[in-house]
Amino acid sequence: MEINYRDFLKERLNEDNFNKLDRLDSRDVFNFVGKYVDICNPESVFVRTDSSGDIAYIKDKAVALGEEKKLNTTGHTVHFDGYFDQARDKKNTKYLLPEGEKISYYVNTTDKQQGSREILDILKNIMSGKEMYVCFFCLGPLDSDFSILAVQITDSAYVAHSEDILYRSGYEAFKKNKSNTGFFKFVHSAGELENCISKRVDKRRVYIDLEKNLVYSVNTQYAGNTVGLKKLALRLAIKKASREGWLAEHMFVMSVSDQSGSKAYFCGAYPSMCGKTSTAMLPGETVIGDDIAYLRCRKDGIYAVNVERGIFGIIKDVNAKDDPILFKALNTEGEVIFSNVLVDKKGIPFWIGKGGKCCEEGVNFSGKWFPGKTDSQGEEIPLSHKNARYTIRLRDLENVDEDLENPRGVKIKGLIYGGRDADTSPPVEQALNWQQGIITKGASLESETTAATLGQEGVRVFNPMSNIDFLSIKLGTYIKMNLDFGKKIEDTDMIFSVNYFLRDKQGKFLNEIQDKIIWLKWIRLRAEKRIDALLTPTGFIPLYEDLKILFQGVLKKDYPKGDYTEQFTLRIPENLAKIERIKNIYRDLIDIPDCLFSELDSQQQRLKECRKVHGDYVNPDKFNTR
pLDDT tens digits for range 210-237? 999 999 999 999 999 999 999 999 999 9
Domain 248-309+404-622 CATH (choose: 3.40.1280.10, 3.90.228.20, 3.90.1150.10, 3.40.50.1970): 3.90.228.20
pLDDT for the residue numbered 150: 97
Pairing of strands 367-369, 570-571: unpaired
Question: What digits encode the pLDDT tens for the residues 287-317?
Answer: 999 999 999 999 999 999 999 999 999 999 9
- Give the closest residue to 271 by CA, choosing from 448, 454, 425: 448
Question: What digits encode the pLDDT tens for the residues 439-448?
Answer: 999 999 999 8
Q: Tell me the mean pLDDT in the region 257-283.
A: 93
H or E stretch covering 215: strand 214-218
Please name the fold of domain 5-69+84-245.
Answer: Phosphoenolpyruvate Carboxykinase; domain 1 (3.40.449)
pLDDT for the residue numbered 456: 59
Neighbour tally for 372: CB within 10 Å:
7
Mean pLDDT of the chain: 94
The amino acid at residue 18 is F
List, in sequence order, every residue forming a beta bridge with 198; answer none if it has no partner.
193
pLDDT for the residue numbered 2: 65
Tell me the pLDDT band of 453, cut-offs 50, 70 and 90. Answer: very low
Domain residue limits, the chain: 5-69+84-245, 248-309+404-622, 312-396
Q: pTM for the whole thing?
A: 0.95
Which homologous superfamily is 312-396 in? Answer: Phosphoenolpyruvate Carboxykinase, domain 2 (2.170.8.10)
Neighbour tally for 601: CB within 10 Å:
12
Three-class SS state of 361: coil
SS3 content of the chain, % helix, strand, coil (to 5): 35, 25, 40
d(C-alpha 510, C-alpha 78), whole Å? 39
pLDDT for the residue numbered 87: 85
Q: Which residues are catalytic?
A: 274
